[in-house]
Structures are given as C-alpha cells and as structure tokens.
Structure 1
C-alpha cells in the first residue's frame, strides 16, 4: 500500500495555541508519526499511541478512523547552530554568541544600516557615472538628538535613471501611477514609486524615492523632481492615477492644476462596501464605471438609482472624471481603472524594503535592469507592426468590440468596418494598423527599451 495522510482532531486546549494542525503519516497498518504544522522557531510535537481504532474497507484499503491519544511528549526536532558546532567541531558555544555571530553575518550579507548612509555620495557618483543623464536628489534636515547640532540628517532621496526618463518620453502615453509602501528595519520610511504603462500594457517604471513619511510635503517633493525630469510645465494636461493616499490629491493640484486625476476603482469600491454594508452594488458599480459612452453610463447609473437613491447620490458626489471611462479624456491613450501597475511593481520589493538604504536602492535598480532585458527578449522575437497586446486588441476590435477608439487610439470595429468598405470603393485609406497610435508600434516599444541600465562597479553594498 502507498502512504496516506489523514487529518486528526486534537484537543488544542493543552497547547495554548502553539500548534495549528496535525497530520498522521502511516504506512500499511502501522502509524509511523504525527507531524505538527508549526510557527517558525517552535518545537515539533511527538506523540506516543497506546491504542487506535480502525475501520476496514474492501481489500487492503484500510484507513484510520480515529486516534485515541493517551500520552503526549514535546521533543526538539530541529538542528541549531549550537548543535552543528558541537557535532562537527566539538565546540560548545552560548546562545548569545550564536546571535552575535548571526547578526555579523547578516550585516556582511546585506550591509550595515547605519554605515550605508555615509556611503550614499559614493554610490550616487558611481550610479550617475555608469548611467548618464540620471537624476538623483538628496534632501536633508537638521533635526538631531542635540537641538543645537548643525549636522545635517538624511531625509529623502529621489532617483530617476536616465534610461527610464528617455524611455518614458518615447512611450507616448501621458499617464503615471503613484503609490507608496512602508520600509522596514531600524529606519522607517516610505518607498514612493511613479510607474507608467508601455505600449504592450506592461508596467514601465519612471522614478522612485525613499522618504521619511507619506504626506503632502513628500509627494510634492517627488512630483516636483519628476516634473523637472520629464519637463512638465505647470499647466500640463497629464493624468495621474492613485489610491487616494494622503496628500497626493493636494500635491498634484498644487503643482499641476490642469492634470487629470483617476482614483483606483478598487478603493472606491472598498469605501462603498464599508459605507453601505450588505448592499450588493458591486456589479452595477463596475458596470457603470466601465461604460465607454456617456449615454451608456447614464443608463447604468439610473439602474443604481432605482435600487438605492442613497448609494446613487454617494457615487454622484465623486467627480465622474476620476472613475468613469465615459468621461476620461483620450490624451493618455490608456483606459485603465485600477492602480495595479504600481501595486504590482511595489510587490517586487518586499524583501528590498527591509535592508539598508543603498542595498534597497540597488534592489530596485537591479530589478528594473533585469526587467528591461526580459522585455527586450520578448521584443526580439515579435513580428508585425504592433506590440503583441495591441495586435490582440486590434484583432478583437476587428471582429467585435465596443467603440473605444478615442480612449485607446486603436481603431474600433466601426472604424475598421468603414475602412474595409472604403477599400471596396478604391479609396486609399491604408490598413487598420496605420491608424493605431505610434505608442503601440513595435518600433516605439523597441526604442523605449533600447535605453538600458548599466551595471555599476565598486564596493559591495
């Protein structure tokens, strides 16, 4: 017979919540062991069985129906560094010494949190030397333990790699997502990111910063740096999408009053559920948001009003230009409703947010460098005038699609049908691919990712 696994019910009151679940591993008719699913660093539970009841099925298919646990023993079932030293080299060492050795090893691997701040200028010089046109800005404060001290204290750092700056300008899509994530370790703060979307609808990082906290002041500082790098005038018609974090709305309005705002639809929906518990308006809300014409949007909102006028009025209080596709302008060449471009990007840096500052900055830069190489590999095997995603969208639009040409600048089915009809009468209107915005061309996509990030040399941070 093969091995089988069965769940066992155990009275957990004796173990004060340490052990979550127990599984019986057995071979044939004999019970071999019981393994607990433990928290990290806890002990493994061993169980002695004095008797068990079993039921017999057909043939050799015998299964354990119930276990009567008579005696319980807690045993160590893990090999520690102390045990290894004793076994391998016959050296006894205290637990305190083991912790100190582990801490030194971790510092050697990931760097020293305190010392890396003194190496920032060397790192910045090396980064800018290897990656021309890169912008790095530092901000300091004079806050110290000693109020009379004039020593400057690190506050923020902003990085926009030259290749990302150039690549974004070649994208042709005027949209940037903004998001922040908490840092870990002894020096807390926030990792702020500005991310766009390339012609294949993949995330394209633009800039990132480490700041002391997520507030209006820090967002204004990042947006000011970003505006200088991207040469955005005060009255630019740009689009920013975000999750309504603290201060972003005020920061964008202060620096770019003519910009278009988009709120992540997921967060509006979460607020809707919290405010109106038990109301099933999810499908109606998303249906209304995804309509691409004003007439269809009004029809969807009327359905919500018929069900609940309070919910309807709550939604009407939110400007439709920030959550309804029917009211988006076509400048961005992008109709996204979610800020998952930032969330997806930030999710790659969970481990990078718990290491020292230079190691963290390198974690982000190295990820972007690898990402560009991977995308370039995809580009090299592509054929046709458009990116793979744009090719698929146009294919669907040719067959059956809604009218979204103004939002995405990819011809809808009606435009494609008109072109086909004009061809019949020998009008020279070109092929549908000629009418797709240049942001979606394979040539533009390739040009964007031709801006590579170069590796740096020097000390290991």
Structure 2
C-alpha cells in the first residue's frame, strides 16, 4: 500500500533473531531497543548488545531501523504499536465462536462488532497521575523545561511536541506535556490529536453494519442447493487455542521458566546459573568437625564391666529441681577394697 506506514511485527523479528542468537540478555536488549523513543536510548541498547555478542549486533543493524524501533517511526500515523496484540485480543474474543458452524460464527462476529466501542480516555487518565511527579519551568512562548525523575525534557505546547517523542509519535499528551498544561491552567483534551476525538471516531465508523434477516438470505430458485463439503471428524478433541511458543506464558498470571531470567547464586549475575558460572570458586580447606560441648554421652542402664572385669555400679539420678538428669558412674571396685569390706 503505497504511502502507508510499514512496520515489522517485532515478535516475528525476534523469532528470526533467536534462531542464531539465543540468550535472555540479548532478548532484553532487542526489545528495549525497539521500545526506545529517542535515538540516544536506542544507541545505548545497541551498545549493550554489542558487548554481549558482536555478531548479534551486526545482524540487527542490517534491519532497517524505521521498520521496528520507535526511535525511527514517523509521527504521521500517531501509532507506536510494535506487536499485533490487537489481533491476539481479537482471537481471544472470538474463541467462543470459532468451533461453531460458519453461518453462526459470522453472525456472532457481526453482533460483537456492532457492540464494540473503545476510547483513549483510559490511557489519558493514567498519564495525568504520572504528571504529578514533574516540575515545570516556564521559558516563554509556550515553551517549557520539565524535570521528571532527574531528567529534563523540552516541551512546546504550540507545536504539540516533546523531546521524549511520546507526544509526537502517539498524539496523546505525555506526562511532561500534561504537567505544562496544568501549569498553564488549560484543558487537556484540547491538546490531544484529533485522531482521538469522538467526532473522528464516528466518521471512521460512520458506515453501519446492517442487520440481515435470517429467513430468506437469497433466492433459492436461482441456484442449485449448496451442500456442505465432506468432512471427517478427527479422533481427538477439537482444538480451539493457537499453538504457543516455548517462551509464551503458560497462564494468565504466571510466566514459564523459560521467560524468567537466570541468576547465578555464586557471582549474583544474570544469564547463567552456578553450574555454568565461569568465575573461579574460592578454595575450600577441609577442617575437622568441631568438638561437641557438654557432658559426654551416658552409658546404658544396668550393670557394666570395668577394665579388670569387676562389676561397676551404675546409678541413675532422677533429677528433681536443681538436680541434673544423667547417669552417675562410680569408679571400678578393686580387690583390696573387697577384702577390706568396703
């Protein structure tokens, strides 16, 4: 389509990228470079990728930047989408009707489209909350310098631009612009691009989806009876969900292990575990086990034999208050003590 803005689906770009270059850190840098709005942030993530893998950096730089990174998108379409999540959302919506007969499925989709309505107000309210953390300095001629989280941005309300490029690219006022509009005591809605106005939305969807009577769809005398095609029912349960990749989340709230970043327990770095850690481990010197403190283990109850074969009287102390429990072993009785009658 000549004259239209063409972009890559970044997920498909990563699927081709990971065929030759695997690793969680490389994946993070690719997506961060795609999400970067400014050229400086984009180059910073490319430098980090080059430090990780030079070949991966060279492969990615051969892809035209204006097709996959926000830092090079044109601002005429007022769109910053990197993935086709709208298609994924639509697939999830029609999941209920996908296994139905073709006429019923089309009717279900038609009715759902008639009732669907979405507005940008939800995202707009979120930006208002973020603007409370910004400090505004008025320069003059509708120009402002805004400090937010230690970073300064230049805002021009007259041209509807901000150096963060979020406002330029999406047409929705960023938090820096919202802070300036609050300072000016002006209405926020007047600075949003007309693409998001209700009037523009109604013009885009002015054509109605007309109702269709289900009684007589066509003249059945003009054509032969249309028979359904031959269909062989599979043996297994009908499949409704799409095939998922290995790094897709397994559920709506939990991520799979393949999506989690590995962290080494030895060097505390990400990307590997202790088994594959290349940092040499410290030398461990075996030491004898520490001596146990306290009274030595007691002998069993009853009679015991001493070194000379004589009996040893063993008396167990039934410890009351202030008396220790244990076994009191007397010294062996000698022959001289027996003769003396002791």
TM-score range for the pair, normalised by the shorter chain length: 0.3 to 0.5
The structure number with the bigger radius of gyration is: 2
Higher helix share: 1
TM-score, normalised on structure 1? 0.36
Q: Comparing both chains, which one has the higher relative contact order based on Cα–Cα distances under 8 Å and sequence gaps of 6 or more?
A: 1
TM-score, normalised on structure 2? 0.47
